[in-house]
Amino acid sequence: MADLPAPGNALPRLARSRLPVPGIKRPPRAPEAGIVHLGLGNFHRAHQAVYTADALRHAEGPWGIRGVATGRGRSGPHPVIEGMSQQDELYTVLTLSQGSGPAAQVPGVHHRGLVAAHQTPEVIEAIASDITRIVSLTVTEKGYSLTADGSSLDLDDPAVRADLAGRGDPMTAIGLLVRGLQHRMRGQAAPVTLLSCDNLMDNGGRLRALLDAFIGALPAPERTDLQAYLAASVSTPSTMVDRIVPATTDEHRALAARCFGVRDTVPVVAEPYRLWVLEDDFRASRPAWEEAGAVFTSDVAPYELMKLRLLNGAHSLLAYFGLLRGLARMDQAVADASVGAAVRAAMTDEILPTLTLPEGVNGPAYVAELLRRFANPALGHRTAQVGSDGSLKIPVRWAGAIEENLAAGRVPTVLALGVAAYIKVVTGGPDAYDEAALGVVADPAAARLRKLAARAGGPAEAARILIESGGLLPEQVAGNAEFTSLVAEYATALGTPSGIEAALREVPRTAR
Ligand SMILES: NC(=O)c1ccc[n+]([C@@H]2O[C@H](COP(=O)([O-])OP(=O)(O)OC[C@H]3O[C@@H](n4cnc5c(N)ncnc54)[C@H](O)[C@@H]3O)[C@@H](O)[C@H]2O)c1
Ligand SMILES: O=P(O)(O)OC[C@@H](O)[C@@H](O)[C@H](O)[C@H](O)CO
């Protein structure tokens, strides 16, 4: 992590004893950690942690958070864990609005964090602790060890196989959870709630199915004991989580220094809007998150579907169209006349008709509000960040809407152009978009998809192959000749540098 540019380096580091400062209150001390959170990334720190800090102001409870940095492939100190440990486990949440300066909050709910890759036994112990009532997750789509089509646990993944065999410390989030629950069961600790806060449809049900699949593949005595324990003592409610939280940059660190006189190496930035809708199925107690504005309901599905298809679906369209148009930031993409019009058309004509909205939500008003949120220039949200991991996001964000349009006899033209744009970005190499200026669009399936595309004689054939064998879209979509032909047509059109502009101008008018 790069250090702060001057004059920030001259400032004293954020610490409990240095608060309050004008604009930032000193938080109360974090209470006992009843929550273990896997995936101490930016989103958790700007969403669940803020709801928890706000809830604690209304009702006390043992709701400190033990954050765990998950995932592998990193050696040495973890920047967030290290940064927070040098700041009394504190960090700043900068709320960035269009047209006004930032507001700041220090949630102050975290205890000393753990790095799963180096401190696995401590993580298992924390999950198993009788004090722990909730284990929450934001481990990204990649963290769930899903098969390429996203339908089930990838039992061919070497990390999953090693975790199942119990060879060494568990490496996957699912393996960690199961081993933690096993210890919990043996220690006869209180029931516990596992709370997925990732952008996955039916995230609670999905997490449960993955745990069931993992446990189902264990040998008999372990398997049956854990199955009984899960049924009796573990709940996995679904949640819809919403707040745009971009990756932190040096500019954000400098902004914190300039506006609040705080040298914080690990701040997070977020939009003012936030929403959290949770299925009210907690096996043990929980923070009074409703006091902080969270909504508890018996059915989260309409909220999840609305958010994933409209917000995240539109986000991914903006990202790929923006990248091909040479636009680095999401606000630039939505402000671009041709990109903005196409994405608005997709939201209104292709996605909204596939949704049964939650009671009281007005579709057009929700779309208008999303477009306003995307347009916030203060966030600096990068198209390359939102466009990354598309092979895991497209099945969640676009596939259902495409499938339902086709089933209703409509061909969703903007979503078809979106698929062609994604294929160009992920398989096109340096010619597809200006990587040096816009940033790297990472994707775990990139090598596999490029290999498939390399077999083709041109972009149209590559698009057909990727739709048929890439695992991005369900069979019913891949088998729809009209849709596949349209994506192939767009793939050809995107072959020239001005292709995207012409296609975007055309696409909202060509609804079929
Ligand atoms: N950032 C947002 O605007 C936002 C909004 C709503 C929901 N979310 C959800 O939160 C997730 C995380 O977003 P973020 O902004 O915190 O990202 P981030 O990059 O700041 O953090 C990602 C976290 O996931 C962990 N992770 C990554 N790959 C993993 C793997 N293979 N196994 C286990 N853990 C892994 C990392 O250790 C890190 O803690 C998103 O993928 C999304 O599902 C994000
Ligand atoms: O966080 P990702 O990378 O899964 O997705 C990028 C954005 O679409 C997403 O984070 C949104 O900002 C968020 O879902 C808004 O609530």
Please state, in angstroms and rounded to a whole number, the distance separating the CA atoms of residues 163 and 141.
19
What is the full DSSP assignment across 57-74? HHS--SB-EEEEE--SS-
DSSP 346: I
The residue whose C-alpha atom lies closest to atom 6 belonging to ligand 2 is: 386
DSSP 33: B
Please give the structure tokens belonging to residue 28: 């109360």
Does the beta carbon of 312 sit less than 6 angstroms from any atom of ligand 2?
A: yes
The pLDDT value recorded for residue 149 is 80
Domains, the chain, in order of start with CATH, read 8-297 (3.40.50.720), 301-509 (1.10.1040.10)
Please state, in angstroms and rounded to a whole number, the distance separating the CA atoms of residues 427 and 115.
34
Helix (H) or strand (E) run with residue 177 in it:
helix 173-186
Bridge partners (DSSP) listed for residue 194 = 135
CB 198 within 8 A of CB 248: no
Phi and psi at 149, nearest 5°, equal: -85, 0
- CA 42 to ligand 1 centroid distance, Å: 7
Which of 50, 142, 311, 398 is the best mutation target for the ligand 2 pocket, counting ligand atoms within 8 Å of the beta carbon and taking the most? Answer: 311
Does the beta carbon of 47 sit less than 6 angstroms from any atom of ligand 2?
A: no
Give pairs for 449-457: CB < 8 Å, separation 24+: 449/391, 449/423, 450/426, 453/423, 453/427
Write down the number of H helices and E strands in the chain.
24, 12
What does the angle CA 62 – CA 64 – CA 67 come to, to the nearest 5 degrees? 140
Does the beta carbon of 386 sit less than 6 angstroms from any atom of ligand 2?
A: yes
Say which amino acid occupies 404.
E
Which residues have CB under 6 Å of ligand 1? 39-44, 69-71, 138-140, 142-143, 173, 198-199, 241, 243-245
Please state, in angstroms and rounded to a whole number, the distance separating the CA atoms of residues 429 and 434.
10
What is the full DSSP assignment across 105-142? E----EEEEEETTT-HHHHHHHHH-TT--EEEE--TGG
- CA 352 to ligand 1 centroid distance, Å: 27
What string of H, E and C letters represents the secondary structure of 430-453?
Answer: HHCCCHHHHCCCCCCCHHHHHHHH
Nearest to 197 by CA among 154, 140, 142, 252: 140
The residue whose C-alpha atom lies closest to atom 3 belonging to ligand 2 is: 386
What string of H, E and C letters represents the secondary structure of 465-478?
Answer: HHHHHCCCCCHHHH
Please state, in angstroms and rounded to a whole number, the distance separating the CA atoms of residues 398 and 438.
23
Which of 38, 93, 135, 139 is the best mutation target for the ligand 1 pocket, counting ligand atoms within 8 Å of the beta carbon and taking the most? Answer: 139
- CA 317 to ligand 1 centroid distance, Å: 20
Phi and psi at 402, nearest 5°, equal: -65, -45
Helix (H) or strand (E) run with residue 102 in it:
strand 100-105
The residue whose C-alpha atom lies closest to atom 18 belonging to ligand 1 is: 41
The pLDDT value recorded for residue 6 is 44
Please state, in angstroms and rounded to a whole number, the distance separating the CA atoms of residues 140 and 390.
12
The pLDDT value recorded for residue 309 is 98
Low-confidence ranges of the chain (pLDDT < 70): 1-9, 73-75, 509-512
Bridge partners (DSSP) listed for residue 196 = 137
The pLDDT value recorded for residue 7 is 45
- CA 417 to ligand 2 centroid distance, Å: 21
Identify the three-state secondary structure at position 501: helix
Please state, in angstroms and rounded to a whole number, the distance separating the CA atoms of residues 397 and 343.
14
The pLDDT value recorded for residue 3 is 40
Characterize the bridge pairing of strands 268-270 and 93-97: parallel
Atom in ligand 1 nearest the alpha carbon of residue 44: 16
Which of 43, 203, 266 is the best mutation target for the ligand 1 pocket, counting ligand atoms within 8 Å of the beta carbon and taking the most? Answer: 43
The residue whose C-alpha atom lies closest to atom 41 belonging to ligand 1 is: 140
pTM above 0.90, yes or no: yes
- CA 56 to ligand 2 centroid distance, Å: 26
